[in-house]
Amino acid sequence: MRPLNEGRVMNHGRRIVVAAAIVAIVAGCSNIRGRLETPQPKDGTEKAWAGIARKDITPFPGYSMAGYSVAAKTARGVWSRLSATAVYVEGPDGSAVAWVACDLWAIAGGLSDRVAELIRERVPNLGRDRIIVAATHTHHGPGNHQSCKFWNLAATAHGGFDRELFDFLAQRIADAVVEAAETARPARLSFQQMPVWNVARNRSPGSFKLDPEAPRWNDIHWPGIPGQTGDLFPGPPAGDDPARIINPTLSTLVLEDGNGPFGVVAFFAVHPTATGMTTEVYSADLVGVARQFAETELAKTAGQRPLVALFNGAEGDVAAGTTNDVPRDRRLAVSLGRRLGRCIAHSAMHGEYIDESVRVAGGRRSIADRTFIDRGGQEHTTARGALVGAPALGGAADGRTVLHETGWLPGAKGRRRLSHGPKLFALDPLGIDPQLLEFVAGLELPESAYPRTWSAAVHRIGKVQFFTLPGEFTTVMGRRIGRQLERTLDGTVAVAMGLANDYLYYVTTPEEYEAQEYEGAATLYGPWSGPCIAHDLVELSASLAKEATPLASGPARYGYTAGTGLSPEPRDIGATPPFADDGLANLVQGSPSGAPVRTRPTYEWCDRVPTYPVTTEPGTIPHIRLERQRPDGVFEPMVSHGLPVDDAHGSVIVVLREADTPRVRWMTASAHGARVRWAAIWLDPPDVQPGQETTKYRFVATTLDGESAPSLPFALRPHERVIVGPANDRHHCDAPSPDLSKEKKKEPHPDILLVVPDVEIGIQRRWR
């Protein structure tokens, strides 16, 4: 049966080429090995302690970004840096937990285990079951760091495992947790929940409607804050609008000292993919915007500027935005992020104090070939081996791949299998004998190449149970698990931590699985995967009813086969484009039209080649801030709407301008002192009217070695592209890029800016 091939014929040669492109694997494997030591008990102090810290985890340019698979772009630079925000909470009896939200697409078991190993060396009371490492699920972070061979091949356009990237991420994430623990202070904890509408929608309403909960969904009473009305906090959409059939719950856990909130831990389910798959730079997407906006809003009333850690939830079928018709770009990310950030701040300021006691249950569980008894007494078994369905290769409703247009369509089904139901094998649309294809694929990707276990955890703080979801669970599946945990421990509230500790891909309800849309086709171990995981979490939850939480037994060794080794280089980005903002049309936009604005001020300078190991800050991509000249001639850092005007807060894009060049040998660049050109683009300079051009500005770069590299001062002029060079010879490049020799030059402007006509846009270039 070939329902996808009707009216579509591939010649034999093309079939073989496409098959080879999908399953070809270079020989050689990378292994991840380690040892998890037994945690040491810590005496209590009869009061709670808490800490929060953040570390930059942005790698250097050149990595294929994970999340869009073969459609992924290779990162040229960064807009809104990637970070790991860690939280440490210690109860009055000394029992502690640590959580860390990372701006990554996913967290595999090997990375979370390695992070736990590094943490245990410096924070002895934190064992593996007390640590949760989760991904925000940005699709604009690096791939190639998973401990699973399948993900290192399938998640990016350039498959393979990069050990140096893995070590870099593990160390930075662990450093964040250690800093949070070492800076912990006496604290009170408060908790609140509220619904947030008009940020997300259900992208698979057809599957959702198969769930028995669907007809009653609009009758659910979501937790809220009294008096929460008006334009800032609108009510739900009407009827069965896709933006209505989500779980809109935002949960916030607030860390407070004598000066007010110093940390907020927020939980909200959404795919942070607002900028879309055309984005060519690293980005925390709407999650980064939401964090920054919430921190700024809270600083206005809290007496100090708190850090916000934002965790995802059951976001498997939850897309960003209320409709698929809105362009996916920086404007959408900023709009949605600010809306979510405003709600985070509002919820945090209306929390209710909770008991600070900490209880922990956790351990590694199998998902493959598991037999279990559900709550109704029925026996079920998950599949022995992982299987990806054909619709998964075609992409989700808000992110179709090129394969969708050639036959990999949602809803495609095959002959029903005992463990995988009606799932159609991913390569079946090629038209080659399916048994042969499955045999060949099994040789290249055996059962061990897929994730087969997951690290389960339920952390209870006061009345709240925080539980891990090892992947992308749909709205209904996540809610079912939460409700079961709340029934297990009466009087508690259950909060999901999505994409935590491991990544099993998608997990749907059995009813949704039958539809075989994208999410069901991407559920690896069959329709009973979700109920199996629910069963394990309920067992852990039940164990928390005990008076004390024993420390996990140990020590234990861990091991993973990550697949083929890979050493990405910045030269993988390709040749230097004519201008720094080429290819960034979805980011360098003007409001309200959304059209790209090509007159953004730009700074170009030279810095060394970024290489591992990273021993200095920033070390991977230079930091940039903007400064404005005061009347007395002194330059001071700019602030706009309470935020510094810099790359860390989304005001600047930083890109590597000169990546593919014969004179740079990246593997030995550090030893030979090679230098390359970088560029910074100021996204939202103030509007300047003719005659108001006296104010001077400058960029200031913090180089990879921590040095300061200011630009020459410049003035803003309407409708002119400003490109400036460095103020000192040390960071000056040999020649401006692109080459000006072929352009008609005019006499230099009195402020030494070279003005070059470019049709309707003037170009200022200022170089020493």
What pLDDT is attached to residue 381? Answer: 98
- Give the contacts of 25 (CB within 8 A, at least 6 positions apart): 153, 159, 444, 445, 563, 564
Residue-by-residue DSSP string for 276-335: -TT--SB--HHHHHHHHHHHHHHHHHHSS--EEEEE--S-TTEEESS-TTS--SHHHHHH
**Confidence class for position 401, pLDDT limits 50, 70, 90:** confident
Kindly state the average pLDDT of the residues 703-720. Answer: 91
What pLDDT is attached to residue 308? Answer: 99
Q: Which residue has the higher pLDDT, 213 or 27?
A: 213
Indicate if the pLDDT at residue 458 is higher than 90.
yes
**Rounded alpha-carbon distances, angstroms, from residue 225 to 249, 268, 356, 642:** 12, 16, 22, 27
Q: Which residue has the higher pLDDT, 129 or 12?
A: 129
Q: How far apart are CA 228 and CA 198, in angstroms?
A: 15
Q: Which residue has the higher pLDDT, 619 or 73?
A: 73
What pLDDT is attached to residue 411? Answer: 86
Q: Which of 98-102, 199-203, 247-251, 391-395 has the lowest mean pLDDT?
A: 391-395
Determine contact, residues 281/82, Cβ cutoff 8 Å.
no
Indicate if the pLDDT at residue 762 is higher than 50.
no
Tokens of 362: 């956790």
Kindly state the average pLDDT of the residues 268-281. Answer: 96
Residue-by-residue DSSP string for 37-92: PPPPP----SS-EEEEEEEE----S-PBEESSGGGPPBP-EEES--EEEEEEEE-T
**Confidence class for position 666, pLDDT limits 50, 70, 90:** low
Q: Are strands 307-311 and 141-142 parallel, antiparallel or unpaired?
A: unpaired
Determine contact, residues 125/39, Cβ cutoff 8 Å.
yes
What pLDDT is attached to residue 158? Answer: 85
**Confidence class for position 390, pLDDT limits 50, 70, 90:** confident
Using one digit for the tens of pLDDT, what is the confidence trace for 597-640?
888 999 999 998 888 888 777 789 999 999 999 999 999 999 99
Indicate if the pLDDT at residue 566 is higher than 70.
yes
**Confidence class for position 27, pLDDT limits 50, 70, 90:** very low
Indicate if the pLDDT at residue 108 is higher than 80.
yes
Q: Which of 56-70, 624-638, 678-692 has the lowest mean pLDDT?
A: 678-692
Q: How far apart are CA 62 and CA 413, in angstroms?
A: 38
Distance of CA 493 to the CA centre of its chain: 26
* Residue 507: strand pairing partners: 473
Determine contact, residues 79/281, Cβ cutoff 8 Å.
yes
What pLDDT is attached to residue 676? Answer: 86
Kindly state the average pLDDT of the residues 498-508. Answer: 98
What pLDDT is attached to residue 592? Answer: 72
Q: Which of 54-68, 194-208, 396-410 has the lowest mean pLDDT?
A: 396-410
Q: Which of 14-28, 226-240, 572-586 has the lowest mean pLDDT?
A: 14-28
Tokens of 258: 């004598």
Q: What sign does the CA torsion over 718, 723, 725, 731 have?
A: positive
**Confidence class for position 663, pLDDT limits 50, 70, 90:** very low
Where residue 576 falls (left for φ over 0; alpha for ψ -120 to 50; beta otherwise) is beta
**Rounded alpha-carbon distances, angstroms, from residue 360 to 321, 454, 463, 501:** 36, 17, 13, 15
Write down the pTM of the prediction: 0.91
* Residue 132: strand pairing partners: 99
Tokens of 201: 């929608």
Q: How far apart are CA 643 and CA 141, in angstroms?
A: 23
Q: How far apart are CA 186 and CA 195, in angstroms?
A: 30
What pLDDT is attached to residue 228? Answer: 65
How many C-beta atoms surround the C-beta of residue 371 within 10 A? 10
726: DSSP letter? B
Q: Which residue has the higher pLDDT, 235 or 463?
A: 463
Indicate if the pLDDT at residue 330 is higher than 50.
yes
Instruction: Enumerate the domain spans of the chain.
Output: 3-12+17-23+367-449, 48-216+235-364+454-563, 575-766
Tokens of 615: 């021993």
What pLDDT is attached to residue 734? Answer: 62
Indicate if the pLDDT at residue 748 is higher than 90.
no
Kindly state the average pLDDT of the residues 366-387. Answer: 95
Q: Please, what is the average pLDDT of the chain?
A: 87
Q: Which residue has the higher pLDDT, 276 or 157?
A: 276
Kindly state the average pLDDT of the residues 356-365. Answer: 95
- Give whichever of 133-147, 440-454, 663-677 has the largest mean pLDDT: 133-147
Indicate if the pLDDT at residue 272 is higher than 90.
yes
Q: What percent of the chain has pLDDT over 70?
A: 87
